[in-house]
Structure 1
Amino acid sequence: MFLHAFQSHVKQHFPFLTENTRLLATVSGGIDSIVLVHLCVATGLDIGIGHCNFKLRGEESDADALFVKELASKFEIPFHETSFDTYAYAKKHTLSTQMAARDLRYAWFKEVVASEAYDYILTAHHRNDSVETFLINATRGTGIEGLTGIPAVSGQVLRLLLPFSRKQIHQYATENTITWREDSSNASDAYVRNAMRHHVLPALEIIRPDATDRIEDTMTHLQQSVALLETYTKELKERYFYPLNSLTGPSAICLDISKLKQHPNPKEVLYVLYKDYGFTSWIDIYQLVEAQSGKQLFSGTHRLLKDRTSLQLYEHRKEERNKTTSFEILNSEGIFQGEYGKIEIKIQEEAIPTTPNQISVDREALHFPLIIRHWEAGDYFYPTGMEGKKKVNKYFKDEKLSLVAKENTWLLCDQKGIIWILGHRADRRYSAHEHTKKRLKITYSI
């Protein structure tokens, strides 16, 4: 009995669903989501219904919304609905209509979950959907994860129907005189999934009647392989990654290139190490290993930099970079904070040792206002402990600062020159000495 099989599956694989768990079922009006609602009600799950009208099929879309609303009323369960201008959204974000609809509905479902205190989102994906996803991804070219089908649990999203076939769902609906809405767009082969459903999978089943079962077996084996690979990937990260912590810039995750090259499969190691950071052009990453220092690649979330003998991975958040390029300090004492970090200036009676984050300067040598800014081409200073002057860029090179570290290093200047490369070397022209009448202690921290 299908209902009993569904209830047993929920009990065995979703034991965290209790009588106090609130579930938002995403219901289009089609047979899969309508049967899901009936099964949940019969099982005693506490559900509400969420429906999105994408305005893609005119009056047909409006009729779907009314049908789902009446179903919620019949079962006396909460009903939530919204509508979108899907075409406009797709055009604005350069997406296919299907991808636009997907983004819109999941964003809205999450909003409803948060505002109405639901615990999980239910979707009606079933066994055939997972097999179709396998075929679609196989023809697109994908990593092993793309061949594992649709997961039963993905964050707050639960898929209770995943073990059951379209045929089982249809049979249950027929036996229980359940009515549903037919989406006319499902008959079109314009969508890849529909073409797979109408032609590819039926052709495979002619050649091999148990094709769906065997594909499902393959996905299970691949899921096991992925689990094993995840364990090995964790070991690889522990073996090859090491942290780079900086006083003057963002932290990085580093990889020693010479150590990587000792592995018999360095390209494969690079793939598993960096695949979770949004990179997709693997040829470019492989070439980065042999590229000159300073070469870098970007994903939507991260930045990968070749720096001499290592690869350095940084979070890439352009929006966090303030457009302000310089800051003024008008007073000779106080605490000053900004994008650059924190600077504290106070009078110091006794001589103090100079460190990367602490210097002592002669107040009379300073020409206010002080300026905090990034370095510029042509900048030079007179480093303490050295003869003559030095270009800041040459200092960075000698100190082996990476491109990212340079970008995140600030200079403390007055109206005549550089007082201090913050977190690094000070300019000796401003240093306090034995004849200094008024010492200022300047400390810096991020």
Structure 2
Amino acid sequence: MLLPFKNHLQAQFPKVAESKILVAVSGGVDSVVLAHLCKEARLNFSIAHCNFNLREEESDQDEIFVLELADALDVQVFIEGFETEAYAAEKKMSIQMAARELRYNWFTELCETLQFDYIFTAHHANDNLETVLINFIRGTGLEGLTGMPDVNNCILRPLLPFTRNEIENYAKNEKFEWREDSSNQSAKYFRNKVRLEVIPRLLELNPQLLDSFGKTRSYLQQSSQLIEDYISALFPQIAKEEEFGYSFRIKLLKTLPHLKAVLYELFKSFGFTEWEDVHGLLDAQPGKMVFSRTHRLIRDRDSLLLTTIPVDDQKIFEIKEDEEVVMLPMGTFHFEKVEDVSTDLRKTIHVDSEQLQFPLIVRKWQKGDYFYPFGMQGKKKLSKFFKDEKLSLPQKENCWILCSGEKIVWVIGHRLDGRFAVNDESKKILRISYTP
């Protein structure tokens, strides 16, 4: 198995030979074999072990075993204990999901702190088949049927081409020791049911199941890559980048063939799952929204708007007199004393500086705010101004205002307040420009 492993690394992961690697080792046969193979391949690696404290003394014995394995292989080892059940209860998730989140968060922290280039995990062909079957049973798209990726950011899975039997036979022939996890035989976990009850039946029907699965997975990966390339080419043609995210012209979307599939591929990476609702937005009333955990799609007048879910931002920022450049979270302000007025643009205004009261205030607009739009008669509520300007919901939410005392000087990026405009009697002119 060593030679196929080395050949696989050279073909698929050529950079690992010169990299610093963190190998996740539970103590089971798969991860033990992976650690030995890395040693035989002369890779620069360390071992990381998670003690999830789920099996009492057995968990502690696993930790001791991994410490001894690291000593035998003469490599550095990192051990971390977790209160997994308490974490799962706090986060309202399953034990398995909690363990996964804790594990990868810690691995990522180690990589960032100690500058590891890659994380190796010991997932193999049987694990991949289990994952695909679980996805299929629960319902999935093409991506779910391709199984675990060989590469996921810095996580590499170099044992995916190998079966559990190949790994165990290699361990026995090399007389390796490993730990057996008693929870792997418990049918209370869904994955274990698939492993212990479903896959053996499938193997009875087709003893070459894993070979067939490997070929099918390869075909599906190629199809998935083809779709990804198509969406990558399509996206810049149909998506317009906005300050708040992206907008998609509905009329243009409706011209695309296989529209439901395109919507799925466009928006799946933003966490959306209610695909009928997403498709329904195309014919919904303006203002209708569909949410994922992190993003939302909004039906505007003639577009779909994609934004992150906004956080209620009540922060107030002060700008002192005589400051020339002020960098704030929403953008950068430049203040310059000038002799005359050039044309005002949306991102630049000229004001009579003698009318200003410092410090100036930058804040989000609020319900009830009003100003005196330059070039218009009388005052107008901002909500009415936004409606007249046909601003979208994200544009309204991301609108900041510059204030002098209680008065609005500038609806930033939109309109100057006429009370501060330069006139024939103005003696001191201040140019204010803004870069988002």
Provide TM-score, normalisation by structure 1. Answer: 0.89
Matched AA of 1:296: M
1:39 maps to a residue whose letter is L
CA separation of 1:366/1:122 partners in 2, compared to 1, >3 Å: closer, same or farther?
A: closer
Q: How far apart in 2 are the matches of 1:46 and 1:369?
A: 57
1:407 aligns with 2:405: no
Q: 2:304 aligns with which of 271, 296, 311?
A: 311
* Residues 141 and 442 of structure 1, relative CA distance in 2, 3 Å threshold: same
Counterpart pick for 2:426 among 417, 432, 436: 436
Letter aligned with residue 2 of structure 2 = L
SS in structure 1 opposite 2:16?
A: coil
Alignment pair present for 1:253 and 2:243: no
Give the drift of 1:182.
Answer: 0.9
Which residues of 2 match residues 22-101 of structure 1 at below 5 A?
22-101=20-99
- In the alignment, residue 294 of structure 1 is paired with which amino acid? G
Alpha-carbon distance in structure 2 between the residues aligned to 1:279 and 1:61: 37
Which residue identity does 1:444 align to in structure 2?
Y
Match of residue 238 from structure 1: 236
Contact 2:52 2:83 in 1 (8 A): yes
Find the aligned partners of 1:116 and 1:366 in 2 and give their Cα distance. Answer: 52
How far apart are the structure 1 equivalents of 2:34 and 2:238?
46
Structure 1 residues 353-398: Cα deviation after superposition (integer angstroms, max 9, x where no partner): 3332333334555566654333333433332223344332222122
CA deviation after TM superposition for structure 1 residue 340, in Å:
5.0
Equivalent residues of 1:333, 1:347 under 8 A apart: no
Residue ranges of structure 1 left out of the alignment (5+ in a row): 245-249
Q: Do the aligned partners of residues 366 and 90 (structure 1) sit closer, same or farther apart at CA in structure 2, a change above 3 Å counting? A: same
Shift of 1:86: 1.0
The 3 A distance-change label for structure 1 pair 411 and 140 is same
Matched, 1:173 2:163: no
Q: For 1:314 and 1:202, how far apart are their aligned partners in 2?
A: 46
After superposition, residues 32-431 of structure 1 pair within 5 angstroms as: 32-244=30-242, 250-316=243-309, 318=311, 322-324=313-315, 326-328=316-318, 331=321, 335-345=325-335, 347-363=337-353, 365-366=355-356, 370-415=360-405, 417-431=407-421
Corresponding residue SS for 2:241: strand
Contact 1:322 1:339 in 2 (8 A): no
Distance (whole Å) between structure 2 residues aligned to residue 49 and residue 340 of structure 1: 43
Deviations 1:154-178 (A, max 9, x none): 2222222211111112222222222
State the Cα deviation string for residues 322-370 of structure 1 (Å, max 9, x = none).
431x445564875555445444555544344333233333455556665
Task: Please state how far the C-alpha of 1:208 moved relative to its aligned partner.
Answer: 2.6
CA, structure 1 residues 426+158, in 2 after alignment: closer, same or farther (shift >3 Å)?
Answer: closer
Shift of 1:50: 1.6
AA at the equivalent of 1:63: Q
Contact 2:52 2:84 in 1 (8 A): yes
Match status 1:5 vs 2:1:
no
Which amino acid is the alignment partner of residue 107 of structure 1?
Answer: N
2-structure distance, mates of 1:149, 1:439: 64
Shift of 1:13: 2.7
Offset, 1:209: 2.4
Question: Is the CA contact (8 Å cut-off) linking 2:244 and 2:394 kept in structure 1?
Answer: no
Native 8 Å contact 1:138 1:147 kept in 2 = yes
Taking the aligned partners of 1:6 and 1:444, their CA distance within structure 2 comes to: 57
- Structure 1 residues 307 and 43: alpha-carbon distance in aligned structure 2, compared to 1, 3 A threshold: same
* 1:227 CA drift (Å): 0.9
**Counterpart in the other structure of 1:247:** none
Partner AA of 2:208 in structure 1: D
Paired with 1:435 and 1:258, the residues of 2 have a C-alpha distance of: 51
What letter matches 1:129 in structure 2?
A: D
Q: Is the 8 Å Cα contact of residues 303 and 314 (structure 1) preserved in structure 2? A: yes
The alignment partner of 1:82 has SS state of strand
Secondary structure of the equivalent of 2:126? helix
Gapped regions of structure 2 (runs ≥ 5): none
More displaced stretch, 82-91 vs 382-391: 382-391
Q: Normalising by structure 2, report the TM-score.
A: 0.91
Q: Secondary structure at the match of 1:289?
A: helix
Distance 1:165 1:79 in 2: 27
Aligned pair count reads 436
Q: Which piece of structure 1 moves more, 106-115 or 343-352?
A: 343-352
Over the residues paired in the alignment, what is the CA RMSD in angstroms?
Answer: 2.5
